[in-house]
Amino acid sequence: MDWKVVHDQYHLKTSKELVLDIALYFGDNIDVHTAIPQRDSGDGPRNLGARLAPSGNNAEEMLHLIQKGRTLGQNISASQLQRHEVMIAYKTSMLRPSMKCPLCGTKFTAKESAKNDRSFLPTLLTTMGFNAKTKRLLFFGPPSLGCFGFTDTYMDQGISQVQMLLSHMRHQDEIGILLQILLEKLQLIIGLPLLPLTYDPQRFLRYLEPSWLKNVWEFIYSIKGHVHLEDCWELGEQRAQDKNLMSMWTSLSLPGN
């Protein structure tokens, strides 16, 4: 481990900036060794599902999905598929399912998700016979209103996240217990009596570090959804006549609140 100074601030050097030779030796035979590849905490190697780095960033998964989207768009554009066949391939057969497979473990923002969609969606829509300037509402609106019912990356990610959250919380398996702990930790950070998913996240986003649960919270609020979890811990008052300060603060119409 070593440090570097950038703009009067200390930062850890990456493995590329360090000259290291890490290897395993067997016994006294130093001529035979197994090299150990170096990885930074910000690198996200492919494990199961998404490329998640130990530091929590999704940068490599984003780059991978963008490149994958461009490749899929180019392959479809060069194929001999008919317009209706492209739509079937995109929605139900292979294209969209393969793109949304890792999304339950990512935490892309709406802007990052839109960037991913732009890598392939214009090409696919043109191949389907649509005008590039057609309102996107026609594609992403519900079929009950005469739209096509497509889902974008942000919507697919949110649906996958909510499904995973509710599934593990309902079964109370090991992951469900860890999610419960993270929810209660987030509840302590914002200082409100009920679980965070019951509140408007816009009031607290600037105080919270990026996280998977924060991303789920934002998505649920964006679709005006509600999550009800039974037997949840509540942050109660310690003494008679006590008041929750954060509840009082959020009830006031203050500038920037």
**In whole angstroms, what is the distance from residue 114 CA to residue 122 CA?**
12
Q: How is residue 211 written in tokens? A: 């996280």
- In terms of C-beta distances under 8 Å and separation of at least 24 residues, what long-range contacts does 54-62 make, across chains too? 56/210, 56/211, 58/106, 58/107, 58/108, 58/112, 61/102, 61/106, 62/108, 62/112, 62/115, 62/116
pLDDT attached to residue 67: 87
- Nearest-5° angle of CA 229, CA 232, CA 237? 140
Q: Is the pLDDT of residue 256 over 60?
A: no
pTM: 0.70
Question: Which among 139, 129, 123 is positioned nearest to 73, based on CA atoms?
Answer: 123
The CA-atom distances, in angstroms, between 200 and each of 47, 191, 203 are: 34, 14, 6
Residue with the bigger pLDDT between 214 and 250: it is: 214
pLDDT attached to residue 53: 61
**In whole angstroms, what is the distance from residue 123 CA to residue 132 CA?**
9
Number of H helices and number of E strands within the chain?
A: 10, 4
**119 neighbors 64 (Cβ within 8 angstroms):** no
Mean pLDDT of 113-134: 84
SS3 content of the chain, % helix, strand, coil (to 5): 50, 5, 45
Domain ranges in the chain? 3-35, 59-157, 172-227
Q: Is the pLDDT of residue 161 over 70?
A: yes
- Encode pLDDT of 189-220 as tens digits: 877 777 778 777 777 777 777 788 888 888 98
CA 79 to chain centroid, in Å, comes to 32
% of residues, the chain, pLDDT over 90? 0
What's the DSSP call for residue 203? G
Question: Which among 127, 221, 231, 152 is positioned nearest to 184, based on CA atoms?
Answer: 231
